[in-house]
């Protein structure tokens, strides 16, 4: 959450001349309801199965740049599947950058619902700690440093492959 997957994914897709797919948007369109509704009405386990189905459907589409939800790589065989079907990238901004972005972002995020502002940093830190083993299975890891141009870095890395 808040790493810039959609922002940089759109720009990378434009640069590469391929479609951009936001997995969460695809799920919402296909399910005809917001992700937070699936979470609240059916629970996270059902949502993760739905998410996996939509992810696997992308294996039948032409090449594209995909932004997944932050939890997508952490469930079932999703990270292994993504590594087998494309180039995976972990954008890794520092915790303080994530917290600042998420505080400023009015987007409803089910895993942040009900988290008091004073506990946001600890909550995100715990999520990252749990998810890091999956994220670091990505084929490309781009660490955020001051002045990092993710698009330039993505192009540099992807052109080497």
Structural domain spans, the chain:
5-151
- Scanning the chain, the segments in alpha helix (DSSP H) are 5-16, 23-31, 35-42, 44-57, 78-85, 95-104, 120-135, 150-160
Give the whole-angstrom CA distance, residue 107 versus residue 126. Answer: 20
What pLDDT does residue 160 have?
64
Q: What is the mean pLDDT of residues 106-112?
A: 76
Predicted confidence (pLDDT) per residue in 140-161, tens digit: 998 877 776 777 887 777 766 5
pTM of the model: 0.89
CA dist list (Å): 23 to 54, 87, 97, 107, 124:
7, 16, 23, 15, 21
- Report the CATH number of the 5-151 domain: 3.40.50.300
């Amino acid at each position: 959450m808040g790493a810039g997957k959609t922002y940089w994914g759109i720009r990378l897709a434009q640069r590469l001349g391929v479609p951009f797919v936001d997995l969460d948007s695809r799920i919402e369109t296909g399910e005809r309801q917001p992700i937070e509704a699936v979470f609240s009405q059916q629970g996270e386990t059902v949502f993760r199965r739905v998410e996996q189905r939509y992810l696997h459907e992308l294996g039948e589409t032409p090449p594209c740049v995909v932004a997944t939800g932050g939890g997508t790589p952490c469930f079932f065989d999703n990270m292994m599947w993504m590594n087998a079907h494309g180039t995976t990238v972990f954008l890794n901004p520092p915790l303080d950058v994530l917290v600042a972005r998420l505080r400023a972002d009015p987007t409803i995020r089910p895993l942040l619902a009900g988290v008091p502002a004073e506990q946001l940093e600890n909550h995100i830190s715990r999520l990252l700690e749990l998810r890091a083993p999956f994220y670091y299975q990505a084929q490309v890891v781009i660490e955020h440093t001051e002045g990092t141009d993710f698009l330039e870095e993505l192009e540099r890395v992807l052109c080497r492959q």
